[in-house]
Amino acid sequence: MTAPHFGTSSERRIDPSLLRGAALFVDDIALADPLCAAFVRSPCARARIRSIDLRAARQCAGVIAVYTARDIGVLDAEFPLLIPHPALVAARTQRPLARDDVFYVGQTVAMIVAVNRYVAEDAAALVEVDYEPLPVAVELAAAAAPGAPLVHPDVTANLAAHFVQVAGDAQAAAARAQHVTRLTVRVERSTAAPLEPRAVAAVFDRSSGELTVWDTTQAPLAVRSGLASLLELDEHKIRVIAPHVGGGFGQKLLFFYPDEVLVPFAAMRLGRPVKFVEDRRENFIGSSQERAQIHQITLYATKQGEVLGLRDEFLHDAGAFTPYGIVVPHVAATSIAGPYRIPNLHVEFKAIYTPTVPVTPYRGCGRPHACFAIERALDRLAEELGLDRFEIRRRNLIRDHEFPYRRHGLVFQDGATVELDSGQYLRALTLLAERLDLAQFERERAQARAQGRWLGFGLAFYVEGTGLGPYEGAAARIHPITGKIHVATGLTSQGQGHETSFAQTVADQMGVGLDDIIFVEGDTRAFDWGVGTYASRAAVVAGNAIYKTALNLRARTIAAAARMFGVPAAQIELRNGRVWDGGSGRSAALATVATVANPLRYAFNEAARAATQFVGTYAAAGGPALANGQQPGLESRDYFSPVRATWAYGAHAAVVEVDAELGRVAILRYLCVHDCGRMINPAIVEGQLMGGIAQGIGGALYEQLAYDASGRIQNANFVDFLMPFASEMPNLDIVHIETPSPLNPLGVKGVGEAGCIAVGAVLASAIEDALKPLGGGSLLRLPITPDMICGLLV
């Protein structure tokens, strides 16, 4: 028997190559005599460009070309808006190279192409740009204040978007409320900081007119479409390959980034390979960022702690451009009520332009902000009503029988009404409480206190609409000689382990081992249709497309085997890489079946020789080897298009020890009870949660981009931008609940972002709890820095 793969913790197939250093990243691609690009970037947050003097740079030995906006022909235009939305008052997108104005420090002004990076950098330093600096208001609230200097002169009040959605009647809830809790919470600007910065390399074959681009992208097919349109090339002449990618976390989704289009452009113009790899500083100042919102949240509740209504008004920092429209604040707005049955909602935000790096989705995409706001507000409500923090949540969580739970009036990112499809929220909370063991914790706390140590616990709940459409597809075929099964999708992986989990999805249907599956993604030649890896969507959307494709291939294989053996299809089984006739016990390798389906072409190989044993039977049963209308080979292709998002959720808790003098936090325990539907690979799911929680700890305690008042980032390096190391990571206690999603055949929900969402709220709650005996106040800002903690005690 072939052991089932779906649901088991198979080791990640990709790890040996990563661990041995054999994996190829964009910078490792061997190009013949490549040129290197470097960029001249704006040192001003907001300025008018009076002139650019390129003479010295052009005279530099080894410089091949220097481009400004005026030298790039049709490319000198604003990039298209990727996701329009009616709430956008004034969408603005960036040009590949600034033309008359710059809008943030780091914006690309000119590109140098030279024989190597050293020369390119030296020449970039010789470009003289005369800037006329303009006044700026960098900080979000300051940019939103009346009379603030404008980022875009024609955008009044720096207002990029104004969004209002209403469910029920929040005003009526306010009138009925016996208790009102109001808070202002804030999440500071941060960045994904993938360990491999962004990179792009391009080769143009002048004889065929074909362009090959290696890109650290999360969406190769979208890059191909974008390049075709921007470079005015036929799409079929462009191949985009995302090789191994060292983390993306949203930052490597299509921006379009200037280098992504200018490097291929230069390769075409110059007829030579061109490459660009960001250095760390460029990744900080040139690649997109996120977080940065200020929420004013109000809960209208009864004295018993039942939340009747919620009002959330928030400001979202859009940065200087809105390539993704309002995706980040929209997701925050539609996640603000979390897992709670709050019937009356008023959510409203303003997206504000600031003269800073543009904001696009970063792991969690608006949810960590929303979770921080609602969970902090619930903690406050509990305190004000004298309720336990578990109890306030228990009273408001959606009950199992209430699913699907619709939030009428709230429209999600996919255009459908927000509808939490399934879950066992109360069970998650109960499991969390059991695992935390409050009685035991209180004993530990008392002991610690006797030693002058301050312990506290915190908790938070999150929900996440995962698996956004519109669709993904897959193709599978049995190689007629080797019998290996090739599976291709239009996605790409940045470390999510698709090559393993998706192979597991196919293996069970075909009765083969994982080594029998060749999984290909990240190459536009592999599969022509698809969208990309983001929004925790691959397991749901591509996973189900692959599953349908595998079912289809299975059915075809069974039909071919039945013809071959001359028996009914019901009698055929697939196992151990072979087809079996359950009646006679005869069997044949998958390669043989695939070959029989087209025997003549393979007359000189072993599989075909094996197949000839069956040709007599086959001919007797069905006539010629390839009957009219029959296809040679065994292959299939299918697609999956979700009706709406499927909602994953979880409850996290932590026990912390706070050094009240130094403001230092040690996370002693971290617990995560979560539900991502049926798990394809629990070990991968746990890995995703760990990575997410690590990033969440970064966002909760360390990571913040320190913009100064002039718009320069003061900590654009890995010394000053603090991130958690392994030493800051607690041991994680992860508990799985598997409530199958009713919205897709596999019953899966996404998990890629889940880990990071609740961490800030959990740690704020825990630190406050630890310091309460010292008269501590509230932690309403992320990240929670040592000075904030010390400030609680003053």
Letters for 650-689 (x = contact with ligand MCN by CB under 6 A, - = none) are --------------------------xxxxxx--xx--x-
Instruction: Compute the least distance from the CB of residue 756 to ligand MCN, in Å.
Output: 8
Give dist(CA 635, CA 556) in Å, integer. Answer: 8
Instruction: Compute the least distance from the CB of residue 246 to ligand MCN, in Å.
Output: 8
Instruction: Compute the least distance from the CB of residue 635 to ligand MCN, in Å.
Output: 23
Which tokens hold the place of 390?
């578990």
Give dist(CA 305, CA 301) in Å, integer. Answer: 6
Instruction: Compute the least distance from the CB of residue 522 to ligand MCN, in Å.
Output: 12
Q: Which residues pair with 487 in a beta bridge?
A: 476, 519
The span of 223-231, 489-497, 551-559, 605-613 binding ligand MCN (CB under 6 A) equals 489-497
Which tokens hold the place of 464?
């996440």
Instruction: Compute the least distance from the CB of residue 387 to ligand MCN, in Å.
Output: 34
Among 534, 580, 618, 640, binds ligand MCN (CB under 6 A): 534
Give dist(CA 489, CA 517) in Å, integer. Answer: 13
The span of 407-415, 426-434, 491-499, 576-584 binding ligand MCN (CB under 6 A) equals 491-499
**Total residues binding ligand MCN (CB under 6 A):** 35
Residue (409 or 740) nearer to ligand MCN, CB: 740
Give dist(CA 257, CA 280) in Å, integer. Answer: 16
- Residues 101 and 109: beta-carbon distance below 8 Å: no
Instruction: Compute the least distance from the CB of residue 98 to ligand MCN, in Å.
Output: 29
Instruction: Compute the least distance from the CB of residue 764 to ligand MCN, in Å.
Output: 22
Is residue 191 a contact residue for ligand MCN (CB under 6 A)? no
Residue (495 or 760) nearer to ligand MCN, CB: 495
The dihedral over CA atoms of 524, 526, 532, 533, expressed in degrees to the nearest 10, equals -130
What angle in degrees, to the nearest 10, is found between the helix axes of 543-565 and 498-510?
30
Among 316, 367, 395, 537, binds ligand MCN (CB under 6 A): 537
Distances (CA, A) of 663 to 167, 764, 789, 791: 41, 13, 5, 9
Give dist(CA 759, CA 703) in Å, integer. Answer: 13
Is residue 753 a contact residue for ligand MCN (CB under 6 A)? yes
Which tokens hold the place of 344?
């009356």
Residue (581 or 638) nearer to ligand MCN, CB: 638
Q: Are strands 238-241 and 210-215 parallel, antiparallel or unpaired?
A: parallel
Among 293, 356, 489, 533, binds ligand MCN (CB under 6 A): 533
3-class state of residue 116 by DSSP: coil
What are the strands, taking DSSP E only, across 99-234?
101-102, 108-114, 128-133, 159-167, 179-190, 199-205, 210-215
Distances (CA, A) of 573 to 5, 384, 498, 564: 17, 64, 27, 13
3-class state of residue 350 by DSSP: strand
Q: How many CA atoms are closer than 13 Å to the CA of 565, on its beta-carbon side?
A: 25
Which tokens hold the place of 678?
């049926």
Among 127, 535, 579, 671, binds ligand MCN (CB under 6 A): 535
The span of 126-134, 378-386, 598-606, 747-755 binding ligand MCN (CB under 6 A) equals 747-755
- Residues 335 and 367: beta-carbon distance below 8 Å: yes
Letters for 689-708 (x = contact with ligand MCN by CB under 6 A, - = none) are --x-----------------
Give dist(CA 731, CA 671) in Å, integer. Answer: 9
Letters for 247-286 (x = contact with ligand MCN by CB under 6 A, - = none) are xxxx------------------------------------
The span of 151-159, 205-213, 312-320, 527-535 binding ligand MCN (CB under 6 A) equals 527-535
The residue whose two tokens read 């320069």 is 712
Q: Which of residues 338-377 bind ligand MCN (CB under 6 A)?
A: 363
Is residue 506 a contact residue for ligand MCN (CB under 6 A)? no
DSSP string, 53-92: E-HHHHHSTTEEEEE-GGGSGGG-SPPPPSS--TTBSS--
Instruction: Compute the least distance from the CB of residue 290 to ligand MCN, in Å.
Output: 10
Among 190, 492, 536, 544, binds ligand MCN (CB under 6 A): 536
Residue (248 or 458) nearer to ligand MCN, CB: 248
Among 494, 544, 598, 636, binds ligand MCN (CB under 6 A): 494
Instruction: Compute the least distance from the CB of residue 394 to ligand MCN, in Å.
Output: 26
| DSSP, res 677 | B
760, with CB counted inside 10 A (0-12, 13-18, 19+), is buried
Residue (461 or 534) nearer to ligand MCN, CB: 534
Instruction: Compute the least distance from the CB of residue 90 to ligand MCN, in Å.
Output: 28
The span of 233-241, 301-309, 326-334, 536-544 binding ligand MCN (CB under 6 A) equals 536-544
Letters for 234-253 (x = contact with ligand MCN by CB under 6 A, - = none) are -------------xxxx---
User: Rounded to a whole number, what is the largest CA-CA distance in the chain?
Assistant: 92
Q: Which of residues 538-597 bind ligand MCN (CB under 6 A)?
A: 538-539, 543
Which tokens hold the place of 697?
């700890």
The residues of the shown chain that bind ligand MCN, judged by CB under 6 A, are 247-250, 363, 494-498, 501, 533-539, 543, 676-681, 684-685, 688, 691, 748-753
